[in-house]
Amino acid sequence: MLLGTTAVLAAAGCGSPGNRGPAAPVSGATPFAWFRSGPAPAGWQSLELPDATAVLSVPPEATPAPGDPGSVSATVTGPGGELRLYLNATPQEGEESQANWSEFRLAHLTGENAASADRLSFRAGMAFRGGSGSCVEDTYVTRVGSHKYREIACLVTGTRGSSVVVAAAPADSWDLYSPVLEQAVNAYAAE
């Protein structure tokens, strides 16, 4: 499963965009209706970005993981080493903006390691702690191994700059792990 973890890790950053993935229509429900910006649950760890633009909160069972320079990452794995959760924060690196975030993210995924990427929902103008953001929820399939993941990826702007938070899990276990991933997004703080 290391290969699947590597694909999620590689897809987390936000460098220059590649090919654009198809965008799924947004359903009639309010996108990200679960979003409630607020502090992390008791016992969670805080990982500050080296450039001090944001703080990522991760559950106590998460272990810091290697990532791109300037980013912070953590994973939760199962007893056999299988990836259960992946959390990442990285400074803004490309031409992503609040207005183009949904398209940019899908293009980034397909330009890096995804064979396909599909938008499930998008919402702009979300009030994060210390800033505002645009979020996209999507699914993607890795080129190597055809692993399917589902993620929440948000571009958040604070007073010190913009950063990206990614909360992902294997698509087949999304229903089990999405409450923890949503808590991590709720607790994300721009500085």
Residue 75, SS3 per DSSP: strand
Q: How many CB atoms lie within 10 A of CB 151?
A: 25
DSSP state of 94: S
- Given the structure tokens 């998460």, which residue do they identify? 62
Alpha helices for the chain (secondary structure H): 2-12, 101-112, 174-187
User: Which has the closest alpha carbon to 181: 98, 62, 78?
Assistant: 62
Domains of the chain by start residue, with CATH: 2-190 (3.40.1000.10)
Give the dihedral of Cα atoms 121, 126, 128, 131; nearest 10 deg. Answer: 130
The pTM for the full model equals 0.86
What is the distance between the alpha carbons of residues 150 and 132, in angstroms, rounded to a whole number?
23
Let me know: does 21 contact 109? Beta carbons within 8 Å: yes
Local confidence pLDDT in tens for the 191 residues of the chain: 333 443 444 444 443 333 333 334 444 689 999 999 999 999 999 999 999 999 999 999 999 999 999 999 999 999 999 999 999 999 998 899 999 999 999 999 999 999 999 999 999 999 999 999 999 999 999 999 999 999 999 999 999 999 999 999 999 999 999 999 999 999 999 99
